A and B are shown apart, each in its own frame.
Chain A
């Protein structure tokens, strides 16, 4: 049989992650990401400025309520830069999770009319959400100069943390987007779930703030260790490697099971979406 012979058969239970096919469709992934980015701030008045405004004002509110009024400690760093350095990565994570969870249902017309590896849809959503992160870092740089806090050489590991956060968000995204095709409950659970997860993530408080006997809850959080490490790298502090490792392990569990569930259910997406 020649190279481009294709056999269409009922789905076998065998799980196969067709990476070569995914690679063949890389241009589509690129165009979908490009579309998301292009369209995001179309017909808004202040455009991409929203990507700065949102985390910035959240940081202001957090500083007033948690930093000043509740007096939550911030590991000897001024509270604004402490919370902002956590917030921007958290914002990326949460929007990547929610965008990719809604991505399949949102592109139902594509899925019922054209063939391509379905994986591309949640992936492109998780990737395009990163633009806001990069825009928001500009404020972080300004704040560093203002407070005179600078990262050390460890900052070179930052891309790895970003990649891991992407994987962690994608793990959630694969699970939730595939579930969303069948159970529209996801749409209602999602905002609630993300809000809850934020309180279990060291965004507004340092991990040292949590009593020893409750720390294990934080260790189960796939993104907590990443946010903690992100902050440490940016502010030139010591990274909590144990916490980071546990987050990485949980993230990988999520993405492997998410991939398996996604591949198992994708063949009937077009029938029930």
Chain B
């Protein structure tokens, strides 16, 4: 047997969009049949009233090879064709052109809990779901205890799953899926379920599986997960392969592209942003790093305008990493960042001295939310990803190297180190 697990050649999938995508009822077919001879006789003198049929290539010219035991991460924005690719490889839908050759049994996990029946008990659903995913009855019986153990639902095994909490439901669903023992696994964003502890467990399970020498195709928006699990990557964009190869290169390219998309027309200074209903606008936002006494201070300035009088407006800041991990969300209550009796132009400034002490060097994104303090639906204006903040890396520990986000993490903790040696 060759060492190639999956070989994809010139694969493409075309969808019809537009009118025809709606349910085409029998009536439509019948009227078409009646209309057709009439049109033949009378000729199509009038403008064709045929609905516009558009074709869209969800995938085009896809070529790649996966060796046995490789773990491939597939990344790309929404609508890039990731799910379509997985659906073709797991035979749910057929390609329009090209072909894929697969050596080995394929198990696909496009959704956890497919086919779960709410009326059936946990035990019954393990068997049902397992067999839907392609496991044999003996396989399920062999893995039954492991599945129950992994899902942590021993006590509720004979309770209908409709009485489960959503967490239990998802855990059980993932547990069944995780014990699918096929040579090739196709996994779609299943990690976006459950709480963080469980997500960790799932990732760990996938890593374990990968060590067993099985081939995995893995789609996720979670770049850090992809980077830690996969060796190779495929970056899809608008249905074609933008880049394939080493996961670090592919992920980097994707990140840079995402960046330039976010910042394409912003360049650290934003266009006018307005809530026309209220007459409230943000005119500019800037983030600067100021050097003072060899320290770097982060300064965020916001200028805005309010046509109408606003009695009380709070300003909330949200700093996130590019992977959308929340670093800090400052509510108006935290800093008393509240403006009273606001009318006309206004400006404000947030300042953090010696930013390198708290945050690793790297790229961050900023959200600004203007709101009425102490009110639930009091949002007046929300500006997501409004600018990018670049924090220059710094040699925080005086070690001769910079502490930056991608390598060492978010926070340079002020840790100290001591050795105690006991001589005998």
Kindly list chain A residues whose C-beta atoms are within 8 Å of the C-beta of B40: none
Listed residue (A7, A31, A110, A183) with the most chain B CB atoms within 10 angstroms of its CB: A31
| 8 nearest A-B pairs in the assembled complex, by CB-CB distance | A115-B91, A185-B26, A8-B100, A31-B131, A183-B26, A42-B119, A6-B102, A9-B99
Contact of A27 among B103, B111, B119, B131 (CB under 8 A): B131
Interface string of B1-14 (1 = CB under 8 A from A): 10000000000000
Interface assignment of A16: CB less than 8 Å from any CB of chain B: no
Interface assignment of A215: CB less than 8 Å from any CB of chain B: no
Listed residue (A6, A109, A110) with the most chain B CB atoms within 10 angstroms of its CB: A6
Interface assignment of A257: CB less than 8 Å from any CB of chain B: no
The answer on a CB contact under 8 Å between B108 and A39 is no
Interface string of A253-273 (1 = CB under 8 A from B): 000000000000001101100
The answer on a CB contact under 8 Å between A4 and B103 is yes
The answer on a CB contact under 8 Å between A27 and B25 is no
| Cα separation A267 to B88 with both chains bound (whole Å) | 11
Kindly list chain B residues whose C-beta atoms are within 8 Å of the C-beta of A38: 119-120, 124
Min C-beta distance of A67 to chain B, whole Å: 39
Kindly list chain A residues whose C-beta atoms are within 8 Å of the C-beta of B364: none
Interface residues of A in 1-44 (CB under 8 A from B): 1-2, 4-11, 27-28, 30-31, 34-35, 38-39, 42-43
Q: Which residue of A lies closest to B89 (CB)?
A: A8
Beyond A8-B99, A38-B124, A110-B114, whether A270 also contacts B87 by CB under 8 A is yes
Residue tally, chain B, CB below 8 Å to A: 45
Min C-beta distance of B393 to chain A, whole Å: 44
Kindly list chain B residues whose C-beta atoms are within 8 Å of the C-beta of A30: 131
The answer on a CB contact under 8 Å between A2 and B103 is yes
The answer on a CB contact under 8 Å between B128 and A184 is no
Contact of A8 among B88, B127, B134, B136 (CB under 8 A): B88
The answer on a CB contact under 8 Å between B92 and A270 is yes
Min C-beta distance of B135 to chain A, whole Å: 9
Kindly list chain A residues whose C-beta atoms are within 8 Å of the C-beta of B104: 4
Listed residue (B106, B115, B120, B127) with the most chain A CB atoms within 10 angstroms of its CB: B115
| Cα separation A9 to B115 with both chains bound (whole Å) | 27
| Cα separation A116 to B131 with both chains bound (whole Å) | 10
The answer on a CB contact under 8 Å between A8 and B95 is yes
The answer on a CB contact under 8 Å between A7 and B101 is yes
Interface residues of A in 199-232 (CB under 8 A from B): none
The answer on a CB contact under 8 Å between B115 and A114 is yes
Kindly list chain A residues whose C-beta atoms are within 8 Å of the C-beta of B120: 35, 38-39
Task: Give 20 CB contacts A-B under 8 Å.
Answer: A4-B105, A5-B102, A6-B102, A7-B100, A8-B94, A8-B101, A10-B94, A27-B136, A27-B137, A30-B131, A31-B127, A31-B128, A35-B120, A39-B117, A39-B119, A42-B119, A113-B92, A114-B92, A116-B134, A267-B93
Kindly list chain B residues whose C-beta atoms are within 8 Å of the C-beta of A112: 92
| Cα separation A5 to B103 with both chains bound (whole Å) | 4
| Cα separation A113 to B186 with both chains bound (whole Å) | 12
Kindly list chain B residues whose C-beta atoms are within 8 Å of the C-beta of A116: 132, 134
Q: A9-B99, A185-B27 are in contact. List 14 more A-B contacts (CB 8 A).
A: A2-B1, A4-B105, A6-B91, A8-B88, A8-B94, A35-B117, A38-B119, A43-B119, A114-B92, A114-B115, A182-B24, A185-B25, A267-B93, A268-B93
Q: Which residue of A lies closest to B112 (CB)?
A: A113
| Cα separation A27 to B138 with both chains bound (whole Å) | 10
The answer on a CB contact under 8 Å between B25 and A5 is no
Contact of B110 among A10, A11, A31, A114 (CB under 8 A): A114
| Cα separation A27 to B141 with both chains bound (whole Å) | 13
Kindly list chain A residues whose C-beta atoms are within 8 Å of the C-beta of B102: 5-8
Q: Which residue of B lies closest to A110 (CB)?
A: B115
Kindly list chain A residues whose C-beta atoms are within 8 Å of the C-beta of B91: 6, 8, 115
Contact of A11 among B25, B94, B136, B137 (CB under 8 A): B94
The answer on a CB contact under 8 Å between B92 and A5 is no
Q: Which residue of A lies closest to B131 (CB)?
A: A31
Interface assignment of B90: CB less than 8 Å from any CB of chain A: yes
Interface residues of B in 297-346 (CB under 8 A from A): none
